[in-house]
A and B are shown apart, each in its own frame.
Chain A
Amino acid sequence: MALPKTLQPSLTPDELTFLAEEEEISIVPLFSMTRIRLLSGIYGSFQPPSSSKVPLWLAISLKRKRKCRIVPPIWLNVETLQTLLKNEKERGEEFGRLPGRRFVEVSKVLLDVAPDDLAQPALLRSLLKDLREVRQAKIRLGLQSEGVMQGSYLQVTNLTPIELTELKPFLVKAMGMMQALEPRRDEAEGDE
């Protein structure tokens, strides 16, 4: 088919990362170049010690060619992540608010491509992992709680798109099932 089965349920993490690469980030170029005009806007000019804002994909591309240093977003440091993690643990069942909806994707890309521009990348990685685990545990707990599967509505505020991507196929299927089992069937079945 036009769209392979694996892509049908929702956007994949790779696709989400692709979208996240449109987010802007600051870089300090290691070369000078006049302004460049791209479809998404005009960037530059690039002049060594001063920083400029570019889309993430451009930053990665330059970084791979060793032509820039990426300035990490303000939230990507040990202190902020520790605070986030602490809040996340203290909040009980509720989900903490992450800085930015592409938080996961952006931090992953930066850790992969520019670990040398980050302070203590190993620690950052492990904090991000802890954060993710705490949130996943909450999701699992939330799904077990009574009532979640009863209705056909769920408030999932503060969960980022990539986290929801993991959940969506399951939830959609479960809800479809519940609808099919409802006594009064209003054309609920059929699709998927």
Chain B
Amino acid sequence: MSSFFQEPDSDDEIPQLPPELPPLHPVASSSRASSSRPSITQDSFLSRLEATASPRPGIRTDHEDGIGEEMEEEEEEDEYELEEGEVRRLGKAWSRERGTGGILAWEGELVDSLMDKLEQQQKLVDTLKSDPDTSEEEHFKLVLVQTEMERVKYLIRSYVRCRLHKIEKYSYHIILTPSLHSLLSGAELSHAQRYTELLHTHYSHSVLDSLPEWLRKMDDTYGDGLSMVTKPNPNLPVLIYCTRDCGEITLDSGEQAALAKGSTHLVKYRLVETFVLSGQVEVL
């Protein structure tokens, strides 16, 4: 039943360095890009960058986060070095998503910002590639830029897939629990809804409709309290690494366990949920 959602195998592969250079360029984007700089002649690399990298006014500048879409900028100061870049943050979010049972909040801002940057980067690559004035050094940089783009794309894809997996697994539970809706992106929520509907229709047509009415429900609870709806298990252990001191937690046995900075523990998710959500601990 999941064949609809099957993805090609190639998605499982981690991009290897260096990637194949994609064939030169989507007519659409290169023509758009070249039309955006008709006035520039004999341009230097930098002025071409300015012409292509900021086509829209009011776009966020790189100064805020230190991660830019241009490849090169001689005069730029790099004082604004971030202690943690967006790529790394997404890496952590991915690891956290993979390590826990339930669905966590969608890192919308982070993903959107990276997607924007990827798009800008792509435009730049397309422009420079089809340009005969591009020097050999620039071509070499392009290869590196593209390598990184592949890495970031892989990361985003992995993150999204992992969430998709959880959403499909717990689709019924998600639909039935309004408090979870805010954790999903719009597309994810509508996917959850459609997936649940599909599943329901499928079960109804294949089996449920032929059963007596009182056996047709899909969200029933048995006499012993066991529900038909699959829910994440909060008692499932998670591996956590404390990036700072988190005090002590009380285990089920009544014992105390100290979550000191730099220590690693395997513990029930329920007991450390607050720390996971606040980012005080990393999930492995």
Which A residues fall within an 8 A CB radius of B?
Answer: 1-4, 7-8, 10-11, 14-15, 17-19, 21-22, 33-42, 57-58, 60-61, 64-65, 101, 151-159, 161, 164-165, 168, 171-172, 175-176, 179, 186-192
Interface segment, one of B126-134, B210-218, B264-272: B264-272
Which B residues are CB-close (under 8 A) to A34? 72, 74, 137
Q: Known: A42-B76, A153-B257. Contact between A36 and B141, CB under 8 A?
A: yes
| CB atoms of B71 and A37 under 8 A apart | yes
Which B residues are CB-close (under 8 A) to A39? 67, 69, 85-87, 114, 117-118, 121, 148-149, 152
Inter-chain residue pair count (beta carbon < 8 A)? 189
Indicate if B21 sits at the interface (CB-CB under 8 A): no
Task: List CB contacts (< 8 Å) of B174-188 with chain A.
Answer: none
Q: Using CB atoms, name the residue of chain A closest to B1.
A: A1
Which B residues are CB-close (under 8 A) to A159? 264
Q: Known: A3-B162, A3-B164. Contact between A157 and B263, CB under 8 A?
A: yes
| CB atoms of B85 and A60 under 8 A apart | no
Which A residues are CB-close (under 8 A) to B18? 61, 64-65
Indicate if B81 sits at the interface (CB-CB under 8 A): yes
| CB atoms of B237 and A152 under 8 A apart | yes
Would you list 21 pairs from A and B whose C-beta atoms are within 8 A, ordered by A residue? A1-B165, A3-B165, A10-B239, A14-B14, A21-B151, A35-B72, A37-B68, A38-B148, A39-B69, A39-B117, A39-B149, A57-B17, A58-B148, A156-B264, A157-B263, A157-B264, A172-B236, A175-B237, A187-B225, A191-B233, A191-B236
Task: List CB contacts (< 8 Å) of B95-144 with chain A.
Answer: 95, 98-99, 101, 114, 117-118, 121, 137, 140-141, 144
- CA A40 to CA B90, docked complex, whole Å: 11
| CB atoms of A36 and B236 under 8 A apart | no
Which B residues are CB-close (under 8 A) to A158? 264
| CB atoms of A155 and B88 under 8 A apart | no
Which of the four size classes fits the interface of chain B? 35 or more
| CB atoms of B17 and A171 under 8 A apart | no
What 8 pairs across the A-B complex have the smallest Cβ distances? A191-B233, A3-B165, A2-B164, A2-B165, A154-B266, A157-B263, A61-B17, A40-B87
- CA A22 to CA B161, docked complex, whole Å: 21
Indicate if B55 sits at the interface (CB-CB under 8 A): no
Which B residues fall within an 8 A CB radius of A?
Answer: 2, 5, 7, 12, 14, 17-18, 66-74, 76, 78, 81-82, 85-88, 91, 95, 98-99, 101, 114, 117-118, 121, 137, 140-141, 144-145, 147-149, 151-152, 154-155, 158, 161-162, 164-165, 168, 225-226, 230-233, 235-237, 239, 241, 251-253, 255, 257, 262-268, 284
| CB atoms of B264 and A151 under 8 A apart | no
Q: Using CB atoms, name the residue of chain B closest to A62.
A: B144
Q: Using CB atoms, name the residue of chain B closest to A175.
A: B237
Cross-interface CB contact of B233 among A101, A153, A168, A190, cutoff 8 Å: A190
Which B residues are CB-close (under 8 A) to A36? 71-72, 141, 144-145
| CB atoms of B251 and A151 under 8 A apart | yes
Assuming A37-B68, A57-B17, what are 10 further A-B pairs, CB within 8 angstroms?
A: A37-B70, A41-B82, A153-B255, A153-B268, A154-B266, A155-B266, A156-B266, A158-B264, A168-B266, A190-B233
Smallest distance from the beta carbon of A141 to chain B beta carbons, Å? 17
Q: Using CB atoms, name the residue of chain B closest to A190.
A: B233
Q: Using CB atoms, name the residue of chain B closest to A42.
A: B78
| CB atoms of A57 and B147 under 8 A apart | yes
| CB atoms of A61 and B147 under 8 A apart | yes
